Amino acid sequence: ILNVEQSPQSLHVQEGDSTNFTCSFPSSNFYALHWYRWETAKSPEALFVMTLNGDEKKKGRISATLNTKEGYSYLYIKGSQPEDSATYLCADDYKLSFGAGTTVTVRA
């Protein structure tokens, strides 16, 4: 049983469209939430570390929000590009629990 859940498991996006997906985690004993991007044949790379309720982080066209009271985080990709194709993982730092990931495929 995963403590951290991500949905959807996969999604296909047309190039130029925006998309978002969810990470839910136990709200008790919250410490930090990490987002990673894992491209095929590469190592997972850190995107964001989020700690405070209401946090919003941004890196280029990718942004994330955090709600620690209800236990969820959203990752947004604006104007998706083929290079955004990857599996996006979130992790609950307290239990070192990773979600199963959301695999994003951007179609040109």
Applying CB under 8 A, the residues found at the interface with another protein are: 2, 31-32, 34, 36, 42-46, 49, 51, 89, 91, 93, 96-101
Measured CA to CA, the distance from residue 37 to residue 106 in angstroms comes to: 14
Measured CA to CA, the distance from residue 105 to residue 60 in angstroms comes to: 18
Residue (71 or 99) nearer to another protein, CB:
99
The CB-of-49 to another protein minimum distance in angstroms stands at 5
Residue (7 or 18) nearer to another protein, CB:
7
The CB-of-89 to another protein minimum distance in angstroms stands at 6
Tokens (6 digits) for 52: 């405070």
Residue type for 23, please?
Answer: C
Measured CA to CA, the distance from residue 76 to residue 25 in angstroms comes to: 18
Residue (13 or 23) nearer to another protein, CB:
23
